[in-house]
Chain A
Amino acid sequence: MSPNALQGLRRHPAFVAAALGLAALTALAVLALSGKLQPGRRQAGAVYYVVAYHYGFAFYDQTFTEVTAMEAKAGEPVTLYIVAAHAFPKETVLAYSERSLHSSIGGLPAGDPKIREKLLEDFALGNIEHIVGIAGLPVYAPTNVTPALGGKPFREGGPRTLREAVEKSDPTVQAITFTPSREGAYDVLCVDSGMDGSGTCGWGHKWMVAKGGFVVRPP
Chain B
Amino acid sequence: MSRDLLALRPVHRALRFRPFQFLAILPAALLVAVVVASCWLGVDHPGFNFGTVFTWVVWWGSLLLSFVFLGRAWCLVCPVGAVGEWIQRLSFWGRSSRTAGLLLPWPRPLRNLWLATALFLAFLWLDNGYGLSNSPRLTAGLIVVLTLASAWIGLLFERRAFCRYLCPLTAFIGVNSLFSILELRSRDAGVCRTDCPTKDCYRGNATTYGCPMGEFPGGAMDTNLLCILCTECVKGCGHDNIGLRLRPPGRDLWAMRRPRLDGAFAAVTVAGLATVAPLLTYAWLPATRRSLAAVLPAGTPPNDPPRLLAVALLFALGIGASAGLLYGSSLLSRRAAGVGTVPARTLFAHCAYAFAPLGLFKLLADLLDHALRTWGTLGDVTRALMLDFPRNRVVGGRVTVVQLAGPVPAYLMQTALLLAGLLFTLYALHRICLRLFADRDAALAAFLPMAGLGLLLTLLGLWMLGASLL
Q: Tell me the A residues contacting B by CB distance below 8 Å.
A: 12, 14-15, 17-19, 22, 25-26, 29, 32-33, 39, 131, 133-140, 142, 178, 187, 189, 191-197, 206
Contacts and interface: CB of A to CB of B under 8 A. Distances in A.
B83 to A, nearest CB: 10
B100 A17 contact: yes
A39 B41 contact: yes
B100 A194 contact: no
A191 B144 contact: no
B155 A19 contact: yes
Interface in B87-137: 87, 90, 98-102
15 contacts: A12-B100, A12-B102, A18-B87, A26-B152, A136-B387, A189-B398, A191-B45, A193-B45, A193-B47, A194-B399, A195-B53, A195-B373, A196-B399, A197-B398, A206-B398
Interface string B374-396: 10010000000001100101111
Contacts of A206: 398
B401 A26 contact: no
The A contact surface, by secondary structure, is mixed
B373 A136 contact: no
A15 B152 CA distance: 11
Interface string B315-344: 000000000000000000000000000000
Given A18-B100, A138-B393, A196 B151 contact: no
Contacts of A131: 45
A168 B352 CA distance: 63
Interface of B: 40-41, 43-48, 53, 87, 90, 98-102, 141, 144-145, 148, 151-152, 155, 373-374, 377, 387-388, 391, 393-401
Contacts of A26: 148, 152
B127 to A, nearest CB: 16
Contacts of B145: 29, 33
A22 B177 CA distance: 32
B397 A197 contact: no
A22 B87 contact: yes
Contacts of A196: 373-374, 399, 401
B398 A14 contact: no
A143 B391 CA distance: 22
Given A14-B100, A39-B41, A136-B387, A22 B47 contact: no
